[in-house]
Amino acid sequence: MPNKKIDDEEKVLKKEKTWVEKKVLAKNVQNVDETLTNKKDESTKIKETSKQNDFKDILKKELPKIKEKKALPKNKVNKELPKTKAKEKKLLPKIKEKNILSNELSEEQKDLKLLDRIKEFFKRNPDKTSSLDENIEQSDYLPEYYDLPYRYNETVVKILAQTPKRLFIYWDIADSDIEKYRKAFGEDFFEKTYPVLLVHNEELNYTYEIPINDFANSWYIDIKDSKNKYTVQLGRKFKEYPKFVKETQQIIQEENINLQNDYIEIVSSNTLEVPNDHVLFENLNQYVLYRNVKTKEENKKDITTLVNGIAKVYNVYDLYKIIYKDEMNNVMFDLNNPGSAGNPSSSMTSSRFL
């Protein structure tokens, strides 16, 4: 019992000590912060202030005529009317003139007449909660509308990896290049050829062709080998084997057109290494390389010395079967795809707000 009492007291003292140390740490951080702040010289302070604070203020200085834009707080309205009155003044003489000359009013004049009628209505009905002068909500910000361009008129092909076994490819051919090919091969060039994608695996050194069509500007393709580097060429193939006259061959040379028999290379893509999709049991050797991340020193350790309780480790798979034994019992777990097993963050049951 006395020993337990001493142990308990010791625990309390240790806890107190830990938190006293933390308070000292926080104080030190505060002191360092203050020292750093005091040490900054004026020029640095001014530079930082002008950088951070309001690049909007800097812009405003460039724009003396820009009026102050205020954000609309919730549930409040902007009490200023648009420049109707000023407009009204300018237009009034014209309106009168117009009325004398014709019974037809312009759109603008109709709006002004409507405005007058509405104002009149609220003057006669002051009990109505909405008043034209008070209820017009008008943002000071510019209205905007954007649409994405259909194309950028450039010759390009890019590849992205959707999964270890599926690529996404997008492409385009610039108008200038379209003209170039038509000039070389005739106006019907795009009718007598068809578009293809040549998929090349750099590691295993094989290439295959995927015919596409001229209605598409992107494509998904399945590939055989994960964790390899791929490039893709966008090209065109002649439907019938071509024979070229001398003038055409001259243009081909001048325009640097890459023609190989019946195939023309239009453009090549970026080189992309697709992700790996399995445990690389075969890649772990007898010796495992370690690095001290502080000193950068490296050393190799025999794999048999790294694992306790197993006499001989022939391969890491045996070890994984032990350390993942609970997961192996879970039908959702697949050592070949553990990533999909436990994280619904990006699924329909996402834990995110979005």
Partner 1 sequence: MKNIKGYVSFILHAHLPYIHHPESKDYLEEEWLFEAISECYIPLLLNFQKLEEEKVDFRLTMTMTPPLLNMLDNKLLQERYIEYLEKHIELCEKETERTTYDERCNKLSYYYLDRYKNDLHIYKDVYKCNLITGFKHFQDIGVLEIITCGATHGYFPILYVNEKTVRAQIAIGVNCYKKYFGKQPRGIWLPECGYVPEADKYLREFGIEYVITETHGVLYADPTPIYGNYAPIVSSDNIVAFARDIESSQQVWSSINGYPGDYNYREFYRDIGYDAPYDYIKPYIATNGVRVNTGIKYHRITGKDCEKDYYDVQWAKDSAERQAGHFLNCRTAQIENLSSYMHVPPIVVCPYDAELYGHWWYEGPYWLYILFKKIYYDECNFKLITPSEYIDNFPNIQVSTPCRSSWGANGYSEVWLNQTNDYAHRHLHKAGDRMCELAWLYPNEGDTLRRQALNQCARELVLAQSSDWLFIITNGTMVEYAHKAIKDHIGRFTKLYYQIKKDKIDAEYLYDIAQKDDIFPEIDYMIYY
15-74 residues in contact with partner 1 (CB under 8 A) are 15-16, 18-19, 22-23, 25-26, 29-30, 33, 36, 51-56, 58-63, 66, 69, 71-74
Burial code (b: 16+ CB inside 10 Å, e: under 16) for 3-20 equals: eeeeeeeeeeeeeeeeee
Q: How far is the CB of 90 from partner 1 (least distance, A)?
A: 22
**What residues numbered 101-140 form the site for partner 1, per CB under 8 A?**
139-140
* Burial (CB count <10 Å: 0-12, 13-18, 19+), residue 169: buried
The residue type found at 180 is: K
Of 265, 84, 58, 55, give the one whose Cα is nearest residue 157: 265
Q: What are phi and psi of 66, to 5 degrees?
A: -80, 125
Residue with smaller CB distance to partner 1, 25 or 204 = 25
Shortest spacing between CB 198 and partner 1, in angstroms: 19
Q: How far is CA 306 from the centre of its chain?
A: 42
Among 168, 189, 194, 263, interactor with partner 1 by CB under 8 A: 168
Q: How far is the CB of 168 from partner 1 (least distance, A)?
A: 6
Q: Hey, which residues between 137 and 156 contact partner 1 (CB under 8 A)?
A: 139-142, 144, 146-149, 152
CB of residue 337 vs partner 1: minimum separation in angstroms? 6
The CA distance from 36 to 39, in Å, is: 5
User: Smallest distance from the beta carbon of 219 to partner 1, in angstroms?
Assistant: 10
* Residue 5 interacting with partner 1 (CB under 8 A): no
What tokens does 328 get? 């192996």
Contacts with partner 1, 267-306, as mask; x by CB under 8 A = ---x--xxxxxxxxx-xxx--xxxxxxxxx-x----x-xx
Choose among 201, 150, 147: nearest CA to 172.
150
Q: Which of residues 203-262 bind partner 1 (CB under 8 A)?
A: 218, 220, 227
Which is closer to partner 1, CB of 198 or CB of 274? 274
Shortest Å, Cβ 246 to partner 1: 39
Nearer to partner 1 among residue 73 and residue 211 (C-beta): 73
Among residues 114 and 160, whose Cβ is nearest to partner 1? 160
Asked if residue 165 lies in contact with residue 222, where contact means CB atoms within 8 angstroms, the answer is yes
Least separation in angstroms between residue 223's CB and partner 1 is 13
Token couple for 67 = 């009026």
Q: Can you tell me the distance from the alpha carbon of 173 to that of 190, in angstroms, rounded to the nearest whole number?
A: 12
The residue count for binding partner 1 (CB under 8 A) is: 113
Please tell me whether residue 6 binds partner 1 under the rule CB under 8 A. Answer: no
Closest CA to 225 of 197, 204, 199: 204
